[in-house]
Structures are given as C-alpha cells and as structure tokens.
C-alpha cells in the first residue's frame, strides 16, 4: 500500500511540474513583440515609456530601434521592414514619406527647440553666451557638428536655425561662415544627432547644434537661442517660414523643400504593423497625460496634444480625441 501511495505522489509531482512548465511556455508564447522605430532624440523617453508600458502590460515586449527620422521612415517605405509604431522628430516626415501609401494618419504629440550644446572641454566655453554664440562658432579653430540633413530632422533644423540667425542678427555672411568653416570639412556628419554626443564628450567636437531636450537629458551645457531662431515657438511660425533648404526626396534625384517651421514630433502606426492592436494600446499610452506625455515633459519636451492634423478623417476613432481638424 505504501508503494502505491509513493507512486501516486511521484505521478502527482510530475503532473505539477508538467503544468508549471506548460504555463511558463504559454506565458512566453503569449508575450508579444512591439517594434518601435523612433528618432534618436527620443531614445531616453522611449526607454522610460518601454519600462512603464511593459510594467502595465506584462505580455508586451518592446523592441525599439533609434535612427534619424528620415532613415526610420525609409526603412518602412523602401525596405519594407516591419514596424508597429513610428515616432518621428518631425511630423512632416510621416506626411511626406509614409502617408498615404505606408500609413493612413499622423498625430503630433510633442515639441522641442534647437540649442547650441557644449561641455567644459569646448573651446571658448567660458566666453560663449546667448549674444555671441555665432561669433564663437565662426572661429576657425572651433569644430562644430551636426547630423546629416538628408537623414535626420535635427540636421536640417540646424541649418535652418543658422539661416534664421543670419536674418535675426542682420549678418548675411553668418551661415556660410559657420557651415563652410575651415574645420567643417574635418567633421563627419552622423545619420542622427545623438551619434555626435560621444564626439562632444571626448572633445573631438566643440559644439553641436542639438535639441534642447537632449542637452538636458545628458547634462550638457547649452546656449538658449532666441525664440525667433530656435524653431520652438509657434508664435513665430511666419518668421520661421522665411527660410528653407532642399533635402533628398523619396526617389533618386528628387528633393523635398524643407521650410522653417515650429518643430513638432509626430507618430503613426504603419500599415505593415505586425501587431496593430498592441500598437494602438501603446500609442494611447504615449498620448495620455499621465503616461507618455508626462515622460516627454519630464525630459524637456512639452506636449502639443491635441493639435490639428491633415489626416484627421483617417484617424481611428479611439485616437480622434488626441487631435483636431
């Protein structure tokens, strides 16, 4: 009789182990990947959103990939790479490259502004201020960095900022003096602005035209530019529109004329999203006041929700509350 009981006990333990094992396997199978392409300047906020969202949704596994916004968009349009949510540093990247073929809609969700970023190692760090910054950048021994305007909005915004500065300071030669600085040929542009950070930290670059939010997140010193120049104030929309430049278009040999305008980040769910339901859940989290928008504001990027969008009619009903016509 004792042998029979022992056998039953063994069988019971085996059954329990089998159930536990199956439960773990099922839990792993139930875990869903959420692929997010995002601007490099969103790296820290997205990391914090990932942690918060996965905590609230244990079945989610966020896979984030940072790059220049234009590069991210082209991964979807040209390479057909799967993406559940795309978060761009410029909403127009979505409108110009993805809508309507690769995405139906775009929602604006945050703003930012340009700044001149530096460290204690930067030449003339003790002298630069909000009045003489462009004179410092013009010096032949100063090395400036910026991201590639054909890959990243921060790159073309850096150039637009300089064009605006030439108007604001009534100095027509300002743009060429900085962009065609003797040292500029020695600087390799990177596809996204955050790739320049390590060069600044080790002293290979003296100054970067960078987003104010990234400077704050990394504890860098920065010159706060006048609102007429920094592309961060919607009141100066007409003033910003005075300047423009051409960047590479969707097709070989084509160009997109990028005008100066208040910088506004945008997001969408591409048509090829492998996990659209979870993507929708994440987007709603990003756009919620106590969720993603709070994380953005804590990282130096004010909310612009709700904002007008030309794709309002195409928005899924649950997202219309976050935009306007």
**DSSP-assigned states of every residue in 285-316:** HHTSTTTHHHHHHHTT--B--SEE-TTGGGS-
Query: Helix (H, G, I), strand (E, B), or coil: what is residue 257?
Result: strand
pLDDT tens for residues 127-141? Answer: 999 999 999 999 989
Peptide bond into 34 cis (omega under 30): no
Q: Burial, 120: exposed, middle or buried (Cβ in 10 Å; 0-12, 13-18, 19+)?
A: exposed
pLDDT tens for residues 176-198? Answer: 999 886 554 445 467 666 778 99
Nearest to 207 by CA among 291, 262, 129: 129
pLDDT of residue 6: 52
Q: Indicate whether 12 pLDDT > 70.
A: no
- Does the domain formed by 114-247 have CATH 3.40.190.10? yes
Contacts 24+ apart (CB under 8 A), 164-171: 164/228, 164/229, 164/231, 164/239, 164/240, 164/242, 164/243, 164/260, 165/134, 165/225, 165/229, 167/242, 167/243, 168/226, 168/228, 168/229, 169/134, 171/134
Written out in words, the top-level CATH class of the domain with range 35-111+265-324 is alpha beta
The two three-digit tokens of residue 81, written as one number: 């790479």
**DSSP-assigned states of every residue in 276-293:** HHHHHHHHHHHTSTTTHH
Q: Where are the alpha helices (DSSP H) in the chain?
A: 2-30, 43-56, 69-77, 91-93, 133-138, 153-168, 174-179, 197-201, 212-218, 237-240, 276-286, 292-298
pLDDT tens for residues 71-118? Answer: 999 999 999 999 999 999 999 999 999 999 999 999 999 999 999 999
pLDDT tens for residues 266-290? Answer: 999 999 999 999 999 999 999 999 9
CB 243 within 8 A of CB 250: no
Domains of the chain, by residue range, sit at 35-111+265-324, 114-247
CB 84 within 8 A of CB 35: yes
* Total-model pTM: 0.83
């Amino acid at each position: 009789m004792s042998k029979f009981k022992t056998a039953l006990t063994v069988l019971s333990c085996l059954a329990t182990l089998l159930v536990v094992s199956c439960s773990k396997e099922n839990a792993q199978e139930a875990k869903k990947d959420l692929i997010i392409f995002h601007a490099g300047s969103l790296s820290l906020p997205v990391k914090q959103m990932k942690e918060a969202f996965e905590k609230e949704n244990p079945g989610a596994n966020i896979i984030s990939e940072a790059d220049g916004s234009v590069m991210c968009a082209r991964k979807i349009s040209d390479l057909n790479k799967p993406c559940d949510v795309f978060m761009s540093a410029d909403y127009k990247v979505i409108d110009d490259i993805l809508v309507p073929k690769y995405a139906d809609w775009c929602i604006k969700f945050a703003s930012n502004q340009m700044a001149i970023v530096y460290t204690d190692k930067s030449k003339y760090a003790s002298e630069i201020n909000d009045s003489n910054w462009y004179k410092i950048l013009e010096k032949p021994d100063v090395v400036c960095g910026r991201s590639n305007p054909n890959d990243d909005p921060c790159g073309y915004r850096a150039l637009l900022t300089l064009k605006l500065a030439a108007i604001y300071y009534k100095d027509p030669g300002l743009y060429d003096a900085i962009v065609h600085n003797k040292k500029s040929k020695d600087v390799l542009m990177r596809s996204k602005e955050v790739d320049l950070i390590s060069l600044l930290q080790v002293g290979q670059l003296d100054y970067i035209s960078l987003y104010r939010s990234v400077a704050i997140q990394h504890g860098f010193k920065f010159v706060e530019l006048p609102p007429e120049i920094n592309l961060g104030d919607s009141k100066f929309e007409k003033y910003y529109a005075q300047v423009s430049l051409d960047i590479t278009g969707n097709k070989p040999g084509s160009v997109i004329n990028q005008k100066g305008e208040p910088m506004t980040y945008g997001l969408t769910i591409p048509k090829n999203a492998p996990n659209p339901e979870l993507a929708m859940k994440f987007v709603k989290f990003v756009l919620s006041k106590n969720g993603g928008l709070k994380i953005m504001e804590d990282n130096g990027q004010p909310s612009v929700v709700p904002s007008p969008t030309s794709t309002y009619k195409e928005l899924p009903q649950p997202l219309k509350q976050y935009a306007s016509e």
